[in-house]
Amino acid sequence: MSGSSIANETIDHSKNREPFSFYKFITNKYFLNVVSIVAFLLIWDYVAKEKIFRDSLARPLEVVDQLYMLTYMKFAGTNLAGHIWASTQRVLIGFIAASIVAVPLGLFMALNKYVNAVVKPLFDLFKPMPPIAWVSIAILWFGIGEMSKVFIIIIGTFVPCLLNAYNGVRLVDPDLYDVVRVLGGNRRDEIFHVCFPASFPAVFAGLQISLSSAWTCVLAAELMNSRDGMGFLIKRGMDTHQPTLVLGGMVLIAAAAYGTSLLVTLLEKKLCPWKRTIENL
Amino acid sequence: MDEKQTRNKVEVRNLTKRFGDLTVLDGINFNIKEGELLAIVGPTGCGKTTFLNTLSKLMPTTEGNIYINGEEADPKKHNLAYVFQEPTCLPWRTVRENVAYGMEVKGVGKEEREARATKIMDLVGLTSCADLYPNQVSASMMQRIAVSRAFAVNPDLLLMDEPYGQLDVKLRFYLEDELVNIWRKLNSTVLFVTHNIEEAVYVAERILVLTNKPTKIKAEIPVDLPRPRDLLNPKFIELRKEVTELIRWW
């Protein structure tokens, strides 16, 4: 057994070394991951080839071809990168604008009962309303330009940001406040040494939820009315009956959403290094 | 005994706490000498935690007061420290930063903080995990961090609320020895609350036995045994029996 010790705690670094066998190979986790994805693509390809959905399902490679074509051919005056950026830009503007206001407001609500008493009822009133319900009124108010799309995203991201920041503060272990209080710390120490760092993970969880909500909202807004963006690709694909374009847009938007979510995860790792753990401890 | 040892560091006068009609603490009076390790034992549910919360000023008293060096106790003025039943490390600070945290709140200078934290971590064997975060160490380590943080502020009064209640026997003995060791080195004034009679006789210089609610002091037992103490020494066993008889609740 190979073990090392950190502060009297033994950590198991031993690896289970068994000889290579066929059974071991086919039960390998990564092998099964690959099997699962390949099987999915094959079934998709089969269903498309046999025209089970008539001509409305493109084969996987056709979708890849279509996306590749878009990289050098302009579609509606913009190339692929332009469409991706158009949507991403809307998401980022809306998401950042909402979180800059919602996170501090949520923290403030949890810390001050008067702010809470004023904001909470309004918030409870608007909370159950799905953000997509705002699409039409947004277009009436702001027209069909960027503003109405960003507005929808702000509406959709505001609630989870605020809610998580609020709960993050309220769920802080009260014993930790006592630690500060007994040592003679004041309210400021309590807030900056305990409250804020303790609520960070919840805030980041809220940001992640917001981000996925932002992508839903941008898609809804672009489906309604737009001249660029990934939602536009999907809409145009539907209108002109090009399944490759629809599926291509769907794949792109998933990839873009994954990319932004990864950025938030990296930011959290950077800001909350204390969440790291030691394997096998 | 030199003169310093006999001076009263802490005086508790008529400490009373009522929640509505329920009297939890009923006019408790006692003193703690400077550099003394005083243990408090009592039957379960006798309000030990309330007792500590009022002493630490986390909870206002209904009547009576606590005086440190003749002045009314005030966390902002006096160095109070509290080791809670549950480990209470700040998860976002490394072990070293946690140990130094109390000094940070007290406004101790950076160099002094580092020096004292290093010294205490050496004493309790935390040096090897100084740069780890609390979620990377075990529960007993976390309690050690809390104990170190408390001792590091050079407290006028250190309160401990069954700090080792959750640990297994072997670790408990080990940490009790460690506690006695730091306490003697730093000459702190410690009030140690426990429900474990053996633990009380093992660490304390004097034991106060509490009654059931409404809580009063039932007896005071000086523990005049040489250290390191032997659990099988007849005198030790006799004292343990004496305390046990006093708080029998079965």
Question: How many CB pairs below 8 A link A and B?
Answer: 90
What average pLDDT score do residues B121-139 get? 84
**Strand pairing of B8-19 and B63-68?**
antiparallel
Q: How confident is the model at residue B181 (pLDDT cuts 50, 70, 90)?
A: confident
Separation between Cα atoms, residue B200 and residue B210, nearest integer Å? 13
Assess if residue A44 is contained within a domain: yes
Element spanning B55, H or E: helix B48-55
Interface probe, candidates A274, A275, A277, A279, chain B, greatest B C-beta count within 10 A: A274
Asked if A276 has any chain B CB less than 8 Å from its own CB, the reply is: yes
Separation between Cα atoms, residue B240 and residue B233, nearest integer Å? 11
Assess if residue A11 is contained within a domain: no
| Cα distances (angstroms) measured from residue A165 to each of A123, A269, B42, B89 | 14, 18, 42, 22
Separation between Cα atoms, residue A134 and residue A155, nearest integer Å? 8
Q: Are A33 and A94 part of one and the same domain?
A: no
Q: Are A159 and A48 part of one and the same domain?
A: no
Environment class of A33 (CB within 10 Å of its CB; exposed 0-12, middle 13-18, buried 19+): exposed
**Strand pairing of A3-6 and B190-194?**
unpaired
What lies within 8 Å, CB to CB, of B213 at 6+ separation is B22, B23, B24, B45, B46, B47
pLDDT at A2: 38
Q: Are A47 and A85 part of one and the same domain?
A: no
Q: Are A144 and A192 part of one and the same domain?
A: yes
Residue where a domain terminates, one of A10, A27, A57: A57
A178:B88 CB<8 A? yes
DSSP letter (8 states) at residue A75: B
pLDDT at A173: 86
Reported as a single tens digit per residue, the pLDDT across B81-129 is: 888 888 888 889 999 999 999 898 888 888 989 998 998 888 888 888 8
Residue where a domain terminates, one of A57, A72, A87: A57
Asked if A196 has any chain B CB less than 8 Å from its own CB, the reply is: no
Q: Are A115 and A33 part of one and the same domain?
A: no
Q: Are A46 and A66 part of one and the same domain?
A: no
Separation between Cα atoms, residue A216 and residue A193, nearest integer Å? 36
A187 to chain B: which residues are within 8 Å by CB? Answer: none
Q: How confident is the model at residue B16 (pLDDT cuts 50, 70, 90)?
A: confident
Tell me if B54 sits within 8 A of B25, measured CB to CB: yes
What lies within 8 Å, CB to CB, of B105 at 6+ separation is A180, A183, A184, A185, A189, A193
Separation between Cα atoms, residue A278 and residue B9, nearest integer Å? 44
B138:A9 CB<8 A? yes
What average pLDDT score do residues B142-151 get? 88
Separation between Cα atoms, residue A247 and residue B83, nearest integer Å? 60
pLDDT at A3: 43
Separation between Cα atoms, residue B152 and residue B150, nearest integer Å? 5
Asked if A279 has any chain B CB less than 8 Å from its own CB, the reply is: no
* pLDDT > 80? residue B187: yes
Residue ranges of chain A with per-residue pLDDT less than 50? 1-4
Q: Are A105 and A185 part of one and the same domain?
A: yes
Number of folded domains that form chain A: 2
What b/e string do you get for B135-172 counting C-beta neighbours within 10 Å, with b at 16 or more? ebbbebbbbbbbbbbbbbbbbbbbbbbbbbeebeeebb
Q: Are A53 and A160 part of one and the same domain?
A: no
pLDDT at B179: 87
Percent of chain B with pLDDT over 90: 4
Q: What distance lies between CA A76 and its chain's CA centroid?
A: 28
Tell me if A165 sits within 8 A of A210, measured CB to CB: no
Give the residue carrying structure tokens 């007792």.
B51
Distance from CA of B133 to the nearest CA of A (A): 6
For residue B93, what is the nearest residue in chain A, using CA coordinates? Answer: A274
Q: Which has the higher per-residue pLDDT, A216 or B216?
A: A216
B105:A185 CB<8 A? yes
Q: Are A47 and A115 part of one and the same domain?
A: no
Assess if residue A241 is contained within a domain: yes
Tell me if B85 sits within 8 A of B141, measured CB to CB: no
3-state secondary structure of B138: coil
Q: Are A94 and A164 part of one and the same domain?
A: yes
Assess if residue A2 is contained within a domain: no
Give the residue carrying structure tokens 């990934």.
A230
Distance from CA of A182 to the nearest CA of B (A): 6
pLDDT at A184: 84
Asked if A179 has any chain B CB less than 8 Å from its own CB, the reply is: yes
CATH number, residue A129: 1.10.3720.10
pLDDT at A277: 61
Assess if residue A9 is contained within a domain: no
Given strand B80-83, what is the order of strands in its sheet?
Answer: B80-83, B157-161, B190-194, B37-41, B206-210, B217-222
3-state secondary structure of B215: strand
Q: Which has the higher per-residue pLDDT, B141 or A46?
A: A46
B152 to chain A: which residues are within 8 Å by CB? Answer: none
Tokens of B181: 């060791």
pTM for the predicted model, two decimal places: 0.81
**Strand pairing of B157-161 and B80-83?**
parallel
Assess if residue A281 is contained within a domain: no
B84:A178 CB<8 A? yes
Residue where a domain terminates, one of A57, A77, A105: A57
Q: How confident is the model at residue B57 (pLDDT cuts 50, 70, 90)?
A: confident
Distance from CA of B173 to the nearest CA of A (A): 16
**Average model confidence (pLDDT) for chain B?**
84
Q: Are A113 and A243 part of one and the same domain?
A: yes
Per CB distance under 8 Å, which residues of B are interface residues toward A?
56-58, 74-82, 84, 86, 88, 90-94, 101-102, 105-106, 125-126, 128-129, 132-138, 141, 153, 159
Kindly write down the DSSP assignment for every residue of A1-29, as one continuous string: --EEEETTEEEE---------HHHHHT-H
Q: Given its phi and psi angles, is residue A229 left (phi above 0), alpha (psi -120 to 50 degrees) or beta?
A: left
Assess if residue A260 is contained within a domain: yes
| Cα distances (angstroms) measured from residue A130 to each of A149, A204, A207 | 15, 22, 18
Q: Are A35 and A136 part of one and the same domain?
A: no
B88:A7 CB<8 A? no
pLDDT at B249: 58
Separation between Cα atoms, residue B214 and residue B26, nearest integer Å? 6
Distance from CA of B143 to the nearest CA of A (A): 13
Assess if residue A211 is contained within a domain: yes
Residue A248 belongs to what domain range? Answer: 60-271
